[in-house]
A and B are shown apart, each in its own frame.
Chain A
Amino acid sequence: MNKYKKITLDGLIYQNPTFMLVLGTCPTLGLISSAFSSLGMGLTVLVILTLSNILISLLRKIIPNEVRIPCYIVIIATLVTFARMFLEKFVPDLYESLGGFLALIVVNCIILGRAEAFANKHTVLESTVDGLANGLGFTAAITVMGIICEFFGNGSLFGFKIMEFKMSMLATPAGAFLVYGICIAVFVYIIDAIERARRVKVNKLSRENLLKEAA
């Protein structure tokens, strides 16, 4: 159980694909001007990432090592083609707002990166958990930034008007870069602070133990 907890925490926080590894930046920067499209992008990537992790870890003993990257790309491209048809038919709003970035999920580094770094070495169950955790980490990060950008840049949330005040610069790519940069800095700062606090606590505990032993 401990193993799965570690995979989940790594995907969500310590190895968060968006904030810690800074992967899959193109769709993030392109779509966070609207909370709806960033949530949609996150969920699409979550589904494709989980499915590709499952398929690749099922096939990991069959795929020859020399041609593994082309094989992964074909698997991912097939999944993306399915996702595109599905969205075009059932969620046309989202299909419109994602635009070109839907096809570009094929070259999203998160999916290929997890296939290469995790799914081809681990069992199906572990890969599924890893895909879900990383996908959720990406979805959470991109949605939080989407909400910030849309709220301050457009005065609305998921398309509903909330206030008149707006800084339209935050709804442009320039604002996306700014918000993304600040979010990474805040995230790294918080993680560092937590780690430091934990280290101090551990040091204090071990010093007390030593003192007790000495007494």
Chain B
Amino acid sequence: MATFIAIVLAAVLTNNFITVKTYGICPFLGVSKKSSSALGMGVAVTVVMVLATLVTYPIYTYVMVPLGIDFLEIIFFIFIIASLVQMLEVVIRKISPSLYNAMGVYLPLITTNCAVLGVAELVIGDMTSILGEGVAMNIGWAALYSLFAGLGFTLVMLIMSGMREKLNYYKTPKAITGFPIAMVTACFICMAFTVFSYI
């Protein structure tokens, strides 16, 4: 139970992917103009992150390490993620066209999202600072960590999109319109999230 709470707190608040690790900034800046698209992107990223961890973690631990080919992890992981996204797109289009309309446009973008490859690389690395001493990493914790990391990502995306929707009502000078003002907005969100690191 303690490990569960530690993982949830770490993934959502203290080690949030966007505000602390700065993974997945491209969708964070690119798709956060409207709340609805931010939510769609967040959910799509969360789903892909969990699926990617569920596939890459066992392959790394039970196939690549025993065979001694763990140095090929980058090539394997990016290939698994790319094919996973492609398959997910086909499956969703077949099963639920309405969900595909809501989520489909974000799926191709996710292959080149740092957050997905980042979480796959993180869970095979050293996680003792989050899990606590003496707790061994297994596929359950890995999936849980990526699920809540995805939810933390969605949370920050939603906050950011809300702030950018409000920003539309104000006139800004030409040089800071667009990315610069979005970056400064993101700076304030990061400062708010820094407080959680004192938990």
Contact = CB atoms under 8 A, between A and B. Distances in A.
A132 interface: no
Contacts of A176: 22
B191 to A, nearest CB: 5
Contacts of B114: 26, 104, 107
Contact of A173 (B72, B182, B190): B190
Contact of B74 (A26, A30, A103): A103
B22 A106 contact: no
Contact of A107 (B72, B75, B112): B112
B117 interface: yes
Chain B interface SS verdict (over half): helix
Interface in A55-103: 69-70, 73-74, 77-78, 80-81, 84-85, 100, 103
B59 to A, nearest CB: 16
B122 A177 contact: no
Nearest to A193: B175
Nearest to B73: A103
B115 to A, nearest CB: 9
Nearest to A25: B25
B123 to A, nearest CB: 11
Interface residues of A, number: 40
A178 interface: yes
A112 B113 CA distance: 12
Interface string B169-196: 0000011100111111011101100100
Contacts, number: 110
A173 B82 CA distance: 29
Nearest to A180: B183
Nearest to B175: A189
B106 to A, nearest CB: 15
B75 A74 contact: yes
Interface string A4-23: 00000000000000000011
A169 B193 CA distance: 13
B26 A109 contact: yes
Given A104-B23, A106-B78, A181-B176, 9 more contacts: A23-B26, A78-B75, A103-B73, A103-B74, A107-B117, A174-B190, A184-B179, A185-B176, A185-B180
